[in-house]
Structure 1
Amino acid sequence: MKYEEIKLNQTYEVKRKITAKMVETFAEITGDKNPVHLDEEFASKTIFKKRIAHGILSVGLISAVLGMEFPGPGTIYMKQDSKFLKPIYLDEEITIKIIVKEKIEEKSRLILTTQIIKEDGKLAVDGEALVLFKGE
């Protein structure tokens, strides 16, 4: 994709499933072994009632979409603001939604709305990213 092909309000959506293996691997890599993510018994006694994915893991999935799918290879992440609104549970299918909010032509930058929507349609993560994208 080329920068010129990207349009304001253009939307890209992709589904992903959050697995226990993803959460456990993320915990191992980062060292964030909070039992709410890893221990079903512990998590059952929290407000969530069962294990949840790390919030930053979900943002990492947004990063993967930006760098590999839309806008795609060549994307440089410059900034991300995220609000974590709802928990994402293990084995939940989520929708990652990217919307082009603004184009900064002279610098080949994009401001993107970055969202994660739960299976039930509720917004789990709401955010905004600034990326540099020159494309092909």
Structure 2
Amino acid sequence: MLDNLPRGTICIEDLEIGMSRYVQKQITDRDIELFAEVSTDRNPVHLDDAYAMDTRFEGRIAHGMLTASLISAVIGEQLPGHGSVYMRQDLTFLAPVRPGDTVRAEVTVADIDHARRRVTLDCRCSVGDTVVLKGEALVLAPSRKFD
């Protein structure tokens, strides 16, 4: 279940630096299994308890890109929302996400290029007080002028 703010579209004309939105989701075993199936990434650190116990993580972890996909959910559904087009995403993975963890993915408007309809977003995912992922996205934002 996602815990988040209302979905929809914020056109570039209405965006402001500092504006922020988020989603929050508990990562389940099923999420990890489905992501492995869709992505074809079946690394045993994600799927095999015995294997994962012998890794530096000492247990199974979620795919990093599963966590990152929550950023995509915020961008595509809330900020800027429907009609947004991803242009670039830079990510740094800082800590593992484990089955059962609740991830909060948040994006914040850092810069707006109105002439080119480009928005730079600071992105971060946290589990409790631990930042597990941070980065920056560049998106083409929807505009009322082009509807």
TM-score range, shorter chain: over 0.9
Deviation at 1:98, TM superposition (A): 0.5
Determine the structure 1 residue equivalent to 2:114.
105
Please, which of 26, 31, 53 is the counterpart of residue 22 of structure 1?
31
Q: Alpha-carbon deviation of 1:3?
A: 1.3
Give the Å deviation of 1:18: 0.8
Among 120, 133, 142, the residue aligned to 1:125: 133
2:120 matched to 1:74? no
Sequence identity (%): 36
5+ residue gaps, structure 1, are: none
Give the 4+ runs in structure 1 shifted more than 6 A. none
Q: Does residue 55 of structure 2 align to residue 46 of structure 1?
A: yes
What is the CA deviation profile of residues 2-42 of structure 1, one whole-angstrom value per residue up to 9, with x for unaligned ones?
21211101121221111111111111111110000001111
Partner of residue 9 from structure 1, selected from 14, 18, 26? 18
- Unaligned residue ranges in structure 2 (runs of 5+): 1-9
Give TM-score, length-normalised by structure 1: 0.94
d(CA) in 1 for partners of 2:35, 2:93 = 18
Return the letter of the residue paired with 1:23: I
AA in 2 matched with 1:35: P
CA separation of 1:53 and 1:135: change in aligned 2, threshold 3 A: farther
Tell me the TM-score normalized by structure 2.
0.87
Aligned positions, number: 135
Which residue in 1 is equivalent to 2:6? none
Compute the displacement of 1:135 (Å). Answer: 4.4
- CA distance in 1 between partners of 2:71 and 2:141 (Å): 15
